[in-house]
Structure 1
C-alpha cells in the first residue's frame, strides 16, 4: 500500500513537471541568443511529450480513443505524409512543417488521455496572466509594442484567446471558489486591455466569437443561448460598411486573391504540404507590391483554410475540418450533459482560434498551434472511447517517448543552434566584422544546407567585401533550392 502511494506521488510529480514545462516554459520562456528567440517553445513541446509519455508508461495507462476519431486522425496524418512525399516538389519545405505537425499530433494523442485537473488550468491561466502583464508594460514603454514573450503582437494575441475563454467559463463554474473567480476576472481585464494594445483585429474578433460560443454551450438548453451570437452579428452588421472598405485596402485582399489563383490550379490535391511559399509568387497579384505592407517573400496566406487548401487540396481541408467537427459535435447536442463547465471555455478557445485564423497565420506558429491541438485532445477525452490493450498502449507510448527524445536532440542541434549562429552572424555584420559574419553564416549553412535566409545573408556579405564570384555562386545555389527567391531575382 505504501509502495503504491509512493508510486502515485512520483507519477503526479512527473505529470506536474511536464505540464509546468508546457504551460510556463512554452508560454513564458524565450532564448535570446537565437535569431528566432521563440524557437525554444517547440523544443519545450517535445520535452513535454517526452515526460508525459514516461508517466503513462510507468503508470501502465491504457490508451483510450474513439474509433471514428482515431480513423479520421490516421487518415489526416496519412494524407499529410502522402502529400509531403509524393506531391511536394521541395521536400525540405514539407520536412520542416512535418516536424511541427509531428509535435502537434503527439500532443493530441497524449492530451486525449489526460484528465482535466484544476492544477494545469491554474498553470495556464497564471502563465497567461504573466504574459499579459509583460505585454501590458511593453506597450506602456517607449516602443508601445505589446509582443509579450511571443516575438510578435499577433502571435501573442493568437495564443491569449484560449486562456481568456477558459478564464471566462471559470466564472460560471461551481468547481472554483469566489476568490479564484475574482483572480480570473483580473486576468480577463488585463488580458483584454493587452489584447487591444496588440491592435490585432482578427484576434479581437476571434475573442468575441469565443465568448459567444462559451455562452452558447453554458446555456444550450435555454432560449438565451443565441444571445451572444446575435449581439455579435448585430455589431458586425452595423460595422459592415467600414469593415468592407477596410478589407479592400488591406494587404490580405491581395494575398488572398493570389492564393485563390494558386488553389484554382490544383484544387483537389494541392501543391504539397509546406509548399505555399515556393509557388505563391507565380500567382501573386501585381498590385500587391503597390501596398505599403508588401514584403519580398510571402510566407503564408494569412488565412489558414486557404493555405491548407492550397497545400493539401480540398481533401486535406475537409479532413482537417471534419476531424474538428467530429470532436466538438457532441458538446452542442441538447442531450449531451457537460459535467464540467470549464469545458465550455475549451470549446470557446477552439472557436476563437479558428475565427482568428481566417485572417492570421497563428496556426502555423507553435506558440498557438501546440495549445490548440492540446485542447482538441482534451475535448476528445470524455465518453464513447474504446480502451486498447496494455501491450499496444505501452508500445505507442514508448514510440512517443523515443520520437520525442530524438526530436528534442535533432531540434536542439539543427533548428535552435543554427538560429544562434545566425544571430551571431547578423551582429558581426552590423558591427562590420565581415570575417566573423561569414564564419557564423557558414556554420548555419553547414548545419542546414536549405536555410536560404542564411545563404542569402552570406552572399550579401561576400558582395559587401567585393568577392562577387563567391556571392554569385551562392545566389545561383539559392535559386536551385528556392527558385525565384524574391531577394535574388
Structure 2
C-alpha cells in the first residue's frame, strides 16, 4: 500500500514545489512588470494537479461573505467581458485578450485569495519578496538613470509604465510593512525615499498625481502621527528635488497646462470614452480594440 501511494505522494510534493516557485517568481517579478515566468509555473502546476488522482478540496464555508461576493463580482465581470467580445468589430482580438485576462484573474486574484485564507504564512513570505523586488526596482532605476544620463527613467517599458508600477508596489509594500509593525516598519525609511526618487526620475506627471493620491489614501487607512510625519518628510524631500532641478520643476508646472501634447491627448481619450458610452452603453466595443474603433 505504501509503495503504491509513494509515487503519488512524490508527484504531489513536486507539484507543490512548482506551485510555490510560481508564486515566489510572481511576487518577486511583478514590481518590474514581468509576471509571466511565475504564471508559467502556476499553469504547469495546475495542469499537473488536473491529472492527479487525488484532488484536495478546500472548505469554502470559512471564507468571509465579502470575499465570496467579491469573487462573484469578478466572475460576472469576466463573463460580461466575453459577451462584449462578440459585439466587437474585432471579435478574435477581443476574445484572445479576454482569455489572457481570465488566466490572470484565475491564478492571481482567486489564487492569492486562497493563499490568504489557507496559507497565510507562505503569503507573508511572498509579500516580503514583493517588497524586496520593489525596492530593488527603485534602486536599479536610479542607478540606470544616473549612470546612463537618461532623459527619463525607464525599465522594461516606458517611463509612464514604470511610474504606474512604482505606485502599485509602493502602496502595497508600505501597507504591508506598516501592518507588520516593528522592526519591519523601519524599512519604510529606506523604501519610500527610493520609490519617490525613482518616481521623480520617470518624469511621468500622471504617475506623480497618482502617487500623491495613493499616499493620501494610505494615510487615511493608517492614521498615526508618526506615519504622517514620515510622509511629510518624504514629501518635503520630493518638493526640494522639484525646486532645485529645473527639468523636474518645469515638468511639474506643466501638469495642468493644456499647451502640452500629453495633456491634450488625455482629454481626447476622455472625449472618445464618452462617445463610446453614448454609442454603446451596455456592450461596449470589446476589450483591447478601443484605439481602433475611436482613433480620434
TM-score, normalisation: structure 2: 0.69
- The match for 1:114 is 115
> What is the Cα deviation at residue 193 of structure 1?
0.3
User: 2:83 matched to 1:82?
Assistant: yes
Distance of aligned partners of 1:215 and 1:61 in 2 relative to their CA distance in 1, 3 Å threshold = farther
- The match for 1:153 is 159
- Structure 2 distance, partners of 1:108, 1:50, is 18
Q: Is the 8 A contact 1:26 1:44 kept in 2?
A: no
> What is the Cα deviation at residue 125 of structure 1?
0.9
- The match for 2:149 is 142
- Structure 2 distance, partners of 1:114, 1:133, is 29
- The match for 2:269 is 255
1:264-275 aligned within 5 A: 264-275=278-289
> What is the Cα deviation at residue 124 of structure 1?
0.5
> What is the Cα deviation at residue 190 of structure 1?
0.9
Q: Is the 8 A contact 1:138 1:144 kept in 2?
A: no
Distance of aligned partners of 1:52 and 1:218 in 2 relative to their CA distance in 1, 3 Å threshold = farther
- The match for 2:214 is 210
> What is the Cα deviation at residue 197 of structure 1?
0.7
1:34-433 aligned within 5 A: 41-42=35-36, 44-51=38-45, 60-62=56-58, 64=60, 66-85=67-86, 87-106=87-106, 107-115=108-116, 116=120, 117-140=123-146, 141-148=148-155, 150-173=156-179, 175-178=180-183, 180-219=184-223, 244-246=256-258, 250=263, 251-281=265-295, 284=296
Secondary structure of the residue that 1:60 maps to in structure 2? coil
- Structure 1 distance, partners of 2:222, 2:96, is 40
Q: Is the 8 A contact 2:15 2:49 kept in 1?
A: yes
- Structure 2 distance, partners of 1:215, 1:111, is 25
Distance of aligned partners of 1:172 and 1:131 in 2 relative to their CA distance in 1, 3 Å threshold = closer
Distance of aligned partners of 1:243 and 1:188 in 2 relative to their CA distance in 1, 3 Å threshold = closer
Secondary structure of the residue that 2:178 maps to in structure 1? coil
User: 2:14 matched to 1:17?
Assistant: no
Give a deviation string over 1:3-59, Cα, whole Å, max 9, x none. 9xx99987874453122221234555xxxxxxxxx7x64354243354378689878
- Structure 1 distance, partners of 2:254, 2:151, is 26
- The match for 2:248 is none
Secondary structure of the residue that 1:151 maps to in structure 2? coil
- Structure 2 distance, partners of 1:11, 1:269, is 40
TM-score, normalisation: structure 1: 0.44
- Structure 1 distance, partners of 2:181, 2:12, is 25
Distance of aligned partners of 1:52 and 1:159 in 2 relative to their CA distance in 1, 3 Å threshold = farther
- Structure 2 distance, partners of 1:11, 1:271, is 40
- Structure 2 distance, partners of 1:44, 1:181, is 27
Secondary structure of the residue that 1:17 maps to in structure 2? helix
- Structure 1 distance, partners of 2:177, 2:25, is 26
Secondary structure of the residue that 1:172 maps to in structure 2? helix
- The match for 1:476 is none
- The match for 2:242 is none
Q: For structure 1, which runs of at least 5 residues remain unmatched after alignment? A: 29-37, 233-240, 285-489
Distance of aligned partners of 1:219 and 1:24 in 2 relative to their CA distance in 1, 3 Å threshold = closer
- The match for 1:437 is none
Give a deviation string over 1:271-327, Cα, whole Å, max 9, x none. 23332132112xx2xxxxxxxxxxxxxxxxxxxxxxxxxxxxxxxxxxxxxxxxxxx
Give a deviation string over 1:121-161, Cα, whole Å, max 9, x none. 1110111111111211121123233112x211111111122
Q: Is the 8 A contact 1:26 1:45 kept in 2?
A: no
Distance of aligned partners of 1:182 and 1:81 in 2 relative to their CA distance in 1, 3 Å threshold = same
Distance of aligned partners of 1:129 and 1:242 in 2 relative to their CA distance in 1, 3 Å threshold = closer
Q: Is the 8 A contact 1:153 1:198 kept in 2?
A: yes
Distance of aligned partners of 1:49 and 1:160 in 2 relative to their CA distance in 1, 3 Å threshold = farther
Q: Aligned Cα RMSD in Å?
A: 3.8
- Structure 2 distance, partners of 1:121, 1:267, is 39
> What is the Cα deviation at residue 113 of structure 1?
0.5
Give a deviation string over 1:155-174, Cα, whole Å, max 9, x none. 1111122221233234533x
